[in-house]
């Protein structure tokens, strides 16, 4: 790693309306993955800091105004936050790019999506009926079902889309009237810190929004196990997700898990029957696999293609993959940034090596690129990699690589395509490419994944639920179900003409 520069340590723990350093005084350098140089120093919190933040959130929920603030005011605050995000779009987009190794354009798109999430949940709660009146079968009974905030929410987020993933939790939690403590990934905390500053600027009462920067094994584990946390919402890998669920179990808190994926992109030959169709399917397969260097939970990392078009398709895919311009995301003309860390690149290298040993054929990439002015030698770059002749027994096909690697498998029949696409323990997302509308609907209906794209890949809508089948998680983010995660349901039954029941004679 390159030598550290003189950077001022920031106080990045926010509890009860005050910014503070870690109780232990510990700090952490945040590295730019494009050159492995530190660009910020943040507080490295631990269990003690987490307890302080949880206590602040608990007080703000039990005694503060936020849970009882009229829903129109809560919605107005969320809209102010969206406006502040738009105001700071360029600054935040660049910060996200530097922190997570994205291009600045990807960073800007992320910030737009974050602002959209705040607006969506503002509109959703502002437009809701206050409760559902139930017909109790008597005019003497008034029965209504209402939704209330769940309480103190613990939020744990990953490094690939740091602020986007945080916003899918923060926006619905606040819209519903909760207080929260968030723990961003220890290696990409910068934009989550910035959004807490924006929440304060927007006028959120003290103690409602709290952040503890620090590691998963201490801060994340404490949030999961703490009895004063009512819900823990986690986005990250399956191994950590299981630990969170286990730590949460003794306190019987609600647990929401958004975990990994191993997502099929199924291409039928009929989608490639015209030049335009072929070009679109190849272009989107490239995008599915390599955007943000494949560090996307919904990456189309498994290309499952009809055998008759495989050679032409894979040749073109590999040709275009080789042309992707890798470099520091803040440089003009760069299309793909580095991996987030040395550890992540080592993991990708391990998977490619194991695939080649198991018989995969390398069609592009498979190595670190040559350093260049746009690609410093110490950056964590890896070439977009196409692995042909793969099969489902290979580790690289079964496990989530989370890097710029796409595997190619083939099929001959529709049934075979569906069987391959469903042959995964995950179930987050999948794509199907065909010009046959009936087949598109048939296949979409049979795929066991939380999101299915037909003749597209990657788009999501804040108004549509996001989440996974199988080991891709429990619960949903976005859409009405994404708001419901942050609520308790209460039935209020009022007897308007009470009388003795005389069940007991005495």
Residues carrying an active site annotation: 258, 297
Question: What does the DSSP 8-state code read for residue 294?
Answer: G
Cα–Cα distance, 91 to 81 (Å, whole number):
15
Nearest CA to 469 among 425, 405, 502?
Answer: 425
Shortest reach from residue 257's CB to ligand NDP, in Å: 8
Shortest reach from residue 32's CB to ligand NDP, in Å: 17
Pick between residue 188 and residue 374 the one whose CB is nearest to ligand NDP: 188
DSSP H helical segments within 304-456, as ranges? 310-322, 342-357, 395-398, 414-422, 437-446
Q: Which residues contact ligand NDP by CB under 6 A?
A: 156-161, 165, 183, 185-186, 215-217, 220-221, 224, 235-237, 240, 243-244, 258-261, 297, 400, 402, 428, 468, 473
H/E element holding 473? strand 473-474
C-alpha pair distances (Å), 66 with each of 122, 185, 205, 279, 327: 15, 27, 7, 52, 45
- Answer whether 351's CB lies under 8 Å from 9's CB: no
Pick between residue 402 and residue 469 the one whose CB is nearest to ligand NDP: 402
Shortest reach from residue 383's CB to ligand NDP, in Å: 21
Shortest reach from residue 298's CB to ligand NDP, in Å: 7
- Return phi, psi of residue 337, to 5°: -90, -170
Shortest reach from residue 89's CB to ligand NDP, in Å: 21
Pick between residue 147 and residue 254 the one whose CB is nearest to ligand NDP: 254
Cα–Cα distance, 61 to 65 (Å, whole number):
8
Q: Enter the tokens of residue 40.
A: 């910020």
Nearest CA to 472 among 259, 167, 235?
Answer: 259
Pick between residue 165 and residue 179 the one whose CB is nearest to ligand NDP: 165
Nearest CA to 96 among 28, 12, 40?
Answer: 40
Pick between residue 118 and residue 268 the one whose CB is nearest to ligand NDP: 118
Pick between residue 88 and residue 186 the one whose CB is nearest to ligand NDP: 186
Cα–Cα distance, 195 to 155 (Å, whole number):
14
Shortest reach from residue 82's CB to ligand NDP, in Å: 21
The residue assigned the tokens 């916003």 is 167
Cα torsion angle, 112, 117, 120, 125, sign: negative
Shortest reach from residue 48's CB to ligand NDP, in Å: 16
DSSP H helical segments within 88-220, as ranges? 89-100, 104-126, 162-175, 190-202
Pick between residue 177 and residue 261 the one whose CB is nearest to ligand NDP: 261
Nearest CA to 233 among 476, 481, 489?
Answer: 476
């Amino acid at each position: 790693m390159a030598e550290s520069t003189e950077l001022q340590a920031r106080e990045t723990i926010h509890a009860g309306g005050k910014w503070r350093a870690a109780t232990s005084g510990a700090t952490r350098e945040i590295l730019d993955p494009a050159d492995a140089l530190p660009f910020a120093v943040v507080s490295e919190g631990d269990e003690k800091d987490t307890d302080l933040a949880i206590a602040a959130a608990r007080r703000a929920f039990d005694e503060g105004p936020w849970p009882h603030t009229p829903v129109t005011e809560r919605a107005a605050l969320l809209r102010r936050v969206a406006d502040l995000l738009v105001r700071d779009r360029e600054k935040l987009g660049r910060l996200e790019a530097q922190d997570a190794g994205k291009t600045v354009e990807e960073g800007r798109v992320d910030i737009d999506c974050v602002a959209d999430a705040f607006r969506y949940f503002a509109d959703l709660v502002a437009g809701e009926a206050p409760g559902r009146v139930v017909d109790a079968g008597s005019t003497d009974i008034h029965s209504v079902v209402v939704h209330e905030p769940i309480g103190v929410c613990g939020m744990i987020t990953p490094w690939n889309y740091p602020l986007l993933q945080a916003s899918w939790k923060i926006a619905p939690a606040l819209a519903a009237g909760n207080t929260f403590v968030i723990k961003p990934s220890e290696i990409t905390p910068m934009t989550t810190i910035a959004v807490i500053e924006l929440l304060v600027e927007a006028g959120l009462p003290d103690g409602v929004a709290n952040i503890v920067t620090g590691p998963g094994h201490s801060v994340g584990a404490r949030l999961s196990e703490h009895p004063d946390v009512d819900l823990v919402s986690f986005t990250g890998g399956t191994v950590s997700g299981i630990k969170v669920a286990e730590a949460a179990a003794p306190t019987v808190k609600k647990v929401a898990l958004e975990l990994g994926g191993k997502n099929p992109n199924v291409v039928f030959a009929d989608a490639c029957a015209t030049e335009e169709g072929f070009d679109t399917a190849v272009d989107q397969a490239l995008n599915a696999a390599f955007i943000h260097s494949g560090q996307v939970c919904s990456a189309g990392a498994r290309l499952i293609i009809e055998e008759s078009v495989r050679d032409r398709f894979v040749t073109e895919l590999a040709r275009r993959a080789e042309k992707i311009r890798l470099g520091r995301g803040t440089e003009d003309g760069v299309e793909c940034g580095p991996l987030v860390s040395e550890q992540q690149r080592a993991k990708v290298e391990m998977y490619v090596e194991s695939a080649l040993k198991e018989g995969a054929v390398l069609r592009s990439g498979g190595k670190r690129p040559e350093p260049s002015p746009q690609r410093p030698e110490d950056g964590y770059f890896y070439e977009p990699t196409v692995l042909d002749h793969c099969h489902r027994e290979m580790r690289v096909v079964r496990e989530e690589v989370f890097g710029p690697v796409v595997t190619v498998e083939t099929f001959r029949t529709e049934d075979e395509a569906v069987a391959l696409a469903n042959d995964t323990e995950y179930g987050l997302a999948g794509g199907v490419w065909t010009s046959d509308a009936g087949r598109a609907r048939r296949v979409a209906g049979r795929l066991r994944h939380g999101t299915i794209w037909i003749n597209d890949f990657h788009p999501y809508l804040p108004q549509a639920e996001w989440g996974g089948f199988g080991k891709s998680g429990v619960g949903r983010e976005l859409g009405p179900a994404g708001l419901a995660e942050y609520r308790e349901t209460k039935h209020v039954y009022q007897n308007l003409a009470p009388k003795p029941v005389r069940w007991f004679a005495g």
